């Protein structure tokens, strides 16, 4: 019987557990905190295809296909819905970017619909007048991330104390992980999916915190039906600015409106910064003025784990046979959890899979040493 040990019960670790279990591994998971309670619990839950750069496109597209395959089997608590993404253009430059996105997507066989100003307002009447147009990806979706992580673990048979240990891993080497209390767990395959804290387990792994703020409102069914994202979001997400804000709004199936988001590099303090929160709300209200009438009930922050080139780190850890890294997904880890898990399982089984592993490999960062 092959044994796998997954370090971290966020959505990435949970998805890896589920995929490895399908390959016949007996999987156990170690995490000192509740399932999905760190970055996963802070995420919006948008499942989206990002069409650039090519390796992000390949991973998010493959991941969305895998989410669609899982969709009929997901439990109702996962709140999966195919709401679609509406990319909104506020100026001519963004409208040109919408057309470039459509062309890149079409070249890969992904359908997306260009909209003019009137088409936008027809789909989302709460958008302000005067926006120039946009791009609709009808097949993008949403999930409730902590419930999705729990669902993956249940499918992996990795629930209950025997399988999810409430413990912290202090170090790993080929075939064994040492817990903070000194106990040793042995496994044929070990997956390091500890989110931002993977940097404490892998020497030299260049992960940086990128803090985000979100606000959620009371239930206002019908306020919007798509995930509405300004096209400027792409510049913010991929840019190197220390601080940025972009409109990113979605309605959960229960009618609550989730309003984001911000990005701040190297801010590890989880406290809500009222100045950033005000910027997030002001930016979203510029696009959706009616937000000002809704009642906000809660705000929170989360830390994304960012890499220097913006791509996650997925692959074998050099010098530690059977140890794999699956971390650094920045703002796309909910989406990319399924594709990441498939890639980890393919690599662990020595299979050639749907994704080329090269762009995500650990050794692209020369400074990375052993666990
Ligand atoms: C504001 C915000 C909005 C976002 N919105 C989206 C979105 O809409 N769509 C999307 O795709 N992504 C989104 N993301 C990104 C997404 O949330 C993350 O990429 C994803 O949750 C990362 O999952 P993870 O499993 O790698 O990390 P985590 O969820 O952080 O899980 C890591 C786990 O490892 C555990 N751990 C740490 N150290 C150890 C150790 N030594 N031993 C054992 N366990 C350990 C932790 O306790 C934790 O439970 C968003 C992020 C933020 C902050």
Using the mean position of ligand 1's atoms as its centre, give its distance from the Cα of residue 163 in Å.
Answer: 20
Is 285 a domain residue?
A: yes
Q: How many domains does the chain have?
A: 2
CATH number at residue 105: 3.30.9.10
Distance of CA 14 to the CA centre of its chain: 13
Of 236 and 371, the one with more pLDDT = 236
162 pLDDT band, cuts 50/70/90, is low
pLDDT, tens only, 207-238: 999 999 999 999 999 999 999 999 987 766 67
The residue-averaged pLDDT of 71-84 equals 96
Whether residues 224 and 288 share a domain: the answer is yes
Whether residues 131 and 157 share a domain: the answer is no
The residue-averaged pLDDT of 229-250 equals 85
pLDDT at 188 over 90: yes
pLDDT at 367 over 90: no
pLDDT of residue 165: 82
DSSP 3-63: EEEEE--SHHHHHHHHHHHHTT-EEEEE-SS-TT-SHHHHS--EE----SSHHHHHHHHHH
Whether residues 262 and 218 share a domain: the answer is yes
pLDDT of residue 344: 98
Ligand 1 site, CB within 6 A: 7-13, 30-33, 37-40, 42-46, 168-169, 193-195, 197, 212, 214, 260-261, 302, 304, 327, 329, 331-335
Is 38 a domain residue?
A: yes
Coil/strand/helix, residue 324 = strand
The last residue of a domain, from among 256, 279, 306:
306
Whether residues 326 and 270 share a domain: the answer is no
DSSP secondary structure letter of residue 198 = G
pLDDT of residue 159: 66
The last residue of a domain, from among 290, 306, 322:
306
Using the mean position of ligand 1's atoms as its centre, give its distance from the Cα of residue 123 in Å.
Answer: 32
> CA 344, CA 361: separation in Å to the nearest integer?
11
Whether residues 301 and 226 share a domain: the answer is yes
Whether residues 99 and 185 share a domain: the answer is no
pLDDT, tens only, 334-346: 999 999 999 999 9
pLDDT at 371 over 90: no
pLDDT, tens only, 79-109: 999 999 999 999 999 999 999 999 999 999 9
pLDDT at 352 over 70: yes
DSSP secondary structure letter of residue 149 = H
Is 69 a domain residue?
A: no
Is 58 a domain residue?
A: no
Is 29 a domain residue?
A: yes
pLDDT at 310 over 80: yes
E-only strand ranges, the chain: 3-7, 26-30, 46-47, 85-89, 113-116, 133-137, 141-142, 164-165, 169-173, 176-179, 184-186, 189-192, 208-219, 227-230, 243-251, 256-265, 296-306, 313-316, 323-327
Least confident span in 151-155, 157-161, 197-201, 283-287: 157-161
The last residue of a domain, from among 280, 306, 332:
306
pLDDT of residue 11: 98
- Are 301 and 264 in contact by the 8 Å Cβ rule? The answer is no
Backbone angles phi, psi at 140, to 5 degrees: -65, 160
Whether residues 119 and 224 share a domain: the answer is yes
Using the mean position of ligand 1's atoms as its centre, give its distance from the Cα of residue 333 in Å.
Answer: 7
CATH number at residue 29: 3.50.50.60
> CA 1, CA 53: separation in Å to the nearest integer?
40
Is 258 a domain residue?
A: yes
Is 63 a domain residue?
A: no
Whether residues 240 and 161 share a domain: the answer is no
Whether residues 16 and 97 share a domain: the answer is no
366 pLDDT band, cuts 50/70/90, is confident
161 pLDDT band, cuts 50/70/90, is low
Please, what is the average pLDDT of the chain? 95
Residue (of 303, 297, 337) closest to 12 by Cα position: 337
| % of residues, the chain, pLDDT over 70 | 97
pLDDT at 328 over 80: yes
Domain span holding position 294 = 85-138+208-306
Nearest CA owner, ligand 1 atom 52: 43
Using the mean position of ligand 1's atoms as its centre, give its distance from the Cα of residue 312 in Å.
Answer: 12
Whether residues 263 and 218 share a domain: the answer is yes
pLDDT, tens only, 120-154: 999 999 999 999 999 999 999 999 999 999 999 99
Is 64 a domain residue?
A: no
Whether residues 242 and 149 share a domain: the answer is no
Q: State both tokens at 276.
A: 């950033």
The residue-averaged pLDDT of 290-298 equals 97
Whether residues 170 and 274 share a domain: the answer is no
């Amino acid at each position: 019987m092959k044994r796998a040990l997954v370090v971290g019960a966020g959505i990435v670790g949970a998805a890896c557990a589920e995929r490895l279990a399908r390959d016949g591994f007996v999987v156990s998971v170690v995490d000192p905190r509740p399932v999905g309670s760190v970055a996963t619990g802070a995420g919006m839950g948008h499942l989206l295809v990002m069409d650039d750069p090519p390796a992000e496109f390949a991973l998010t597209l493959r991941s969305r296909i895998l989410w669609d395959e899982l969709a009929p089997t997901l439990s109702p608590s996962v709140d999966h819905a195919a709401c679609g993404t509406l990319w909104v253009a506020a100026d001519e430059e963004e409208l040109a970017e919408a057309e470039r996105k459509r062309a890149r997507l079409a070249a890969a066989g992904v359908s997306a619909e260009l909209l003019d100003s009137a088409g936008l307002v027809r789909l989302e009447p709460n958008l302000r007048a005067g926006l120039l147009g946009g791009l609709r990806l009808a097949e993008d979706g949403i999930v409730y991330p902590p419930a999705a992580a729990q669902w993956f673990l249940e499918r992996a048979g990795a629930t209950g104390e025997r399988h999810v240990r409430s413990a912290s891993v202090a170090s790993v080497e080929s075939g064994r992980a040492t817990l903070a209390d000194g106990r040793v767990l042995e496994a044929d395959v070990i997956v390091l999916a500890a989110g931002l804290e993977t940097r404490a387990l892998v020497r030299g792994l260049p992960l940086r915190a990128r803090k985000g703020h979100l606000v959620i409102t009371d239930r206002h069914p019908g306020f919007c039906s798509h995930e509405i994202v300004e096209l400027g979001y792409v510049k913010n997400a991929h840019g190197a600015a220390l601080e940025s804000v972009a409109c990113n709004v979605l309605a959960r199936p229960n009618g609550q409106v989730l309003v984001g988001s911000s990005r701040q590099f190297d801010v590890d303090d989880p406290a809500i910064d009222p100045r950033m929160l005000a910027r997030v709300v002001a930016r979203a209200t510029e696009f959706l003025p009616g937000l000002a009438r809704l009642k906000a009930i809660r705000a929170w922050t989360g830390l994304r784990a960012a890499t220097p080139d913006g791509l996650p780190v997925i692959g074998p850890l050099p010098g530690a046979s059977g140890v794999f890294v699956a971390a650094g997904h920045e703002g796309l880890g909910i989406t990319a959890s399924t594709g990441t898990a498939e890639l980890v399982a393919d690599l662990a089984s020595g299979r050639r899979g749907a994704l080329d592993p090269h762009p995500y490999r650990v050794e692209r960062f020369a400074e990375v040493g052993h666990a």
